[in-house]
Amino acid sequence: MRENIMIVVGLMLFSNAINSQASREGTIEIERSRILIESILSAEEQEALTPLDVFNTLAAGNERFVSNDITARDHSMQIRESAASQYPKAIVLSCIDSRVPVEDVFDKGIGDIFVARVAGNFINDDILGSMEFATKVAGAKLILVLGHENCGAIHAAIDGAKLGHITKMLKNIQPAVKISTLSEGPRTSKNRLLVHEVSENNVRLAIEKITKDSSILKTMLQNGEISIKGAVYDMDTGVVNFL
Ligand SMILES: [Zn+2]
């Protein structure tokens, strides 16, 4: 009898541990390969997260992506669960590059993150409006600007490419080219070190512009309601290097 009670208590503790882990990440961490995740982030779970928690879940998700250990999700169930509302934890601004599948890169699924994409991941009024919506209106706790290595838009900006609407679009990346002062090698896209420097500076300028141009986001940052981070995705390894 005593043994049975011990087993029941043990199972309850085990189950609580799983539930608490599941609610923290929106996923179940153990036996991932056999358990299909059905739940999506709830309003209460979003509310309980701090900006640092959200940063940590993105970093941990990228580690799983790099280890080829992405969480299995029941998309049909998640679609039905999320149809009426959404409580994402973060907004990621990424380039449009097909080799940077943002949700996969952070091992996130339906309802987990907002993703804004534009070639060269720069800030403009529409992107700022999207970020204000994601955070102030929808409760996301983290803004992440995600550049990537070997970016075609960065290459084109360095080389001063001109074609249709691309010409005007590249003006948004030119400030990052201007402040990149690497003296080694040619000032063309063939110079990998220069491309790397411009990519990082482009992310840094985007972060600066967010608080310079949006008083809403600046105030939220000052109050600790959100965090704003930058990172560059490594094409060779899948690693997100936070700046
Ligand atoms: Zn790109």
Distance CA 196, CA 242 (A): 14
Residue 119 Cα to ligand 1 middle (Å): 6
Give phi and psi for 240, each to the nearest 5: -90, 115
3-class SS at 115?
Answer: strand
> Ligand 1 center to residue 202 CA distance, Å?
11
User: How far apart (Å, rounded) are the C-alpha atoms in residues 218 and 32?
Assistant: 38
Q: Give residue 6 CA to ligand 1 midpoint distance, Å.
A: 57
What is the rounded average pLDDT of the residues 2-8?
43
The secondary structure element, H or E, covering residue 18 is: helix 2-25
Query: What one-character DSSP code corresponds to residue 227?
Result: E
**What is the Å distance from ligand 1's center to 240 Cα?**
14
Centroid of ligand 1 to alpha carbon of 120 (angstroms): 5
User: Ligand 1 is a single-atom ion; what residues have CB below 5 A from it?
Assistant: 95, 97, 151, 153
- Say what the pLDDT of residue 34 is: 54
Q: Distance, CA 40 to ligand 1 centroid (Å)?
A: 30
For residue 34, report the phi and psi dihedrals to the nearest 5 degrees: -105, -20
| pLDDT value of residue 4 | 45
Q: 146 CA distance to ligand 1 centroid (A)?
A: 10
Fold of 41-242: Beta-carbonic Anhydrase; Chain A (3.40.1050)
Give residue 114 CA to ligand 1 midpoint distance, Å: 18
Burial of 157 (0-12, 13-18, 19+ CB in 10 A): buried
What mean pLDDT comes out for the span 232-242?
97
- Cα–Cα dist 144/119, whole Å: 16
Q: Which helix (H) or strand (E) holds 169?
A: helix 164-170
Q: Cβ atoms within 10 A of the Cβ of 121, count?
A: 30
The residue that leads in pLDDT, 41 or 116, is: 116
Bigger pLDDT: 7 vs 215: 215
Distance (Å) from CA 194 to ligand 1 centroid = 15
Confidence check: pLDDT of 141 > 90: yes
The answer to whether residue 12 scores a pLDDT higher than 70 is no
What tens digit of pLDDT does each residue of 61-81 get? Answer: 999 999 998 888 888 888 888
For residue 55, how far is its CA from the centre of ligand 1 (angstroms)? 22
Output the CA 123–ligand 1 centroid distance in Å: 14
Phi/psi at 92 (nearest 5 deg)?
A: -110, 130
188 Cα to the center of ligand 1, angstroms: 16
- Ligand 1 midpoint to CA 28 (Å): 33
> How far does residue 117's CA lie from ligand 1's centre (Å)?
10
HEC readout, 120-158? CCCCCHHHHHHHHHHHHHCCCCEEEEEEECCCHHHHHHH
Answer whether residue 16 shows pLDDT above 80: no
Per the structure block, which two tokens stand in for 213?
A: 């141009």
Kindly report, residue by residue over 191-236, the tens digit of the pLDDT: 999 999 999 999 999 999 999 999 999 999 999 999 999 999 999 9
Report CA(223)–ligand 1 centroid distance (Å): 32
Distance from first CA to last CA of the chain, Å, rounded? 57
Q: Residue 35: which pLDDT band, with cuts at 50, 70 and 90?
A: low
Side by side, which strands form the sheet with 142-148? 113-117, 90-94, 142-148, 227-233, 240-242
pLDDT digits (tens, 9 = 90+) for 79-132: 888 887 888 999 999 999 999 999 999 999 999 999 999 999 999 999 999 999
Residue 19 pLDDT grade (very low, low, confident, very high; cuts 50, 70, 90): very low
Q: What is the pLDDT of residues 143-200, one digit of tens each?
A: 999 999 999 999 999 999 999 999 999 999 999 999 999 888 899 999 999 999 999 9
- CA 122–ligand 1 middle distance (angstroms): 10
pLDDT of 7 higher than 50: no
The first and second tokens of residue 92, run together, are 């990621």
What is the mean pLDDT of the segment spanning 6-22?
A: 43
User: Between the CA atoms of 18, 105, 114 and 166, what dihedral angle is there, to the nearest 10 degrees?
Assistant: 180
